Amino acid sequence: MPPQITRLVYLTLAIVAVYFLARGFLVPASFGQYGWYRGNALKEIAALPIRYAGRAACAECHEEAAERLAKGSHQGLSCEACHGPGAAHAEDPAEAAPKPENSRFCLRCHEFNLSRPAKFPQVEADDHFPDQKCAECHAPHSPMQAPEDASKRNAKPVKK
């Protein structure tokens, strides 16, 4: 057999050996336990601390906001979808409540995107009062109503 073929066979065997050796070190032992998933991932996720309190925990203290939310267009959302994890605040009300400070929370859903349904309210952030917070003109729990302290009520229309 020519030496080039012999070297090619040895090189191929070396590559296959390195592959299996690396795979043995890099792939967790529980991989494949539940199909193409790492079996221990379920235990690791279950061991994480609870960060969310749930809508009912928010409504215990914030009844007025919960009632407005139940009547508004965001009624299907959890409070923590916008305000962030609130388990620490629910456990100890002295702990600062999560509060959306800027428009990025609103824009996660309402930034113009062609893939969203045509009737879904969307805005071009750069054109729709870029230097203001959404809550200056819109009441977050009932966005079709202006907040009581809104100074500008002539907002540009949303795209539909």
What are the pLDDT digits (tens) for 68-111? 888 888 888 888 888 888 898 988 888 877 777 677 778 888 88
In a shared domain, residues 86 and 130:
no
Residue 8 pLDDT > 90, yes or no? yes
Do 120 and 147 share a domain, yes or no? yes
Q: What are phi and psi of 79, to 5 degrees?
A: -60, -40
- Based on the fold, state whether residues 26 and 67 are members of the same structural domain: no
Inter-residue contact 52 to 86 (CB < 8 Å): yes
State which of 13, 30, 46 marks the end of a domain: 46
Q: Which contacts of 32-36 are long-range, i.e. CB under 8 A and separated by 24 or more positions? A: none
Distance CA 37, CA 24 (A): 16
Contact 103, 125 (CB under 8 A): yes
One domain for residues 41 and 62: no
Does residue 150 carry a pLDDT above 50?
no
Q: Is the pTM of this model over 0.75?
A: no
Q: Indicate whether 89 and 113 sit together in one domain.
A: no
83 and 124 housed in the same domain? no
**Do 116 and 159 belong to one domain?**
yes
Rounded to the nearest integer, the mean pLDDT of the chain is 84
Q: What is the pLDDT of residue 149?
A: 53
Same domain, 111 and 133: yes
Give the separation between CA 24 and CA 129, rounded to whole angstroms. 55
Question: Residue 23 phi/psi, 5° resolution?
Answer: -65, -35
Domain assignment of residue 94, given as a range: 49-99
112, 150: one domain: yes
Same domain, 90 and 106: no
Confidence (pLDDT) at 132: 80
Same domain? 40 vs 80: no
pLDDT grade for 152, boundaries at 50, 70 and 90:
very low
Same domain flag for 54 and 94: yes
pLDDT beyond 70 at 60: yes
Number of structural domains (the chain) is 3
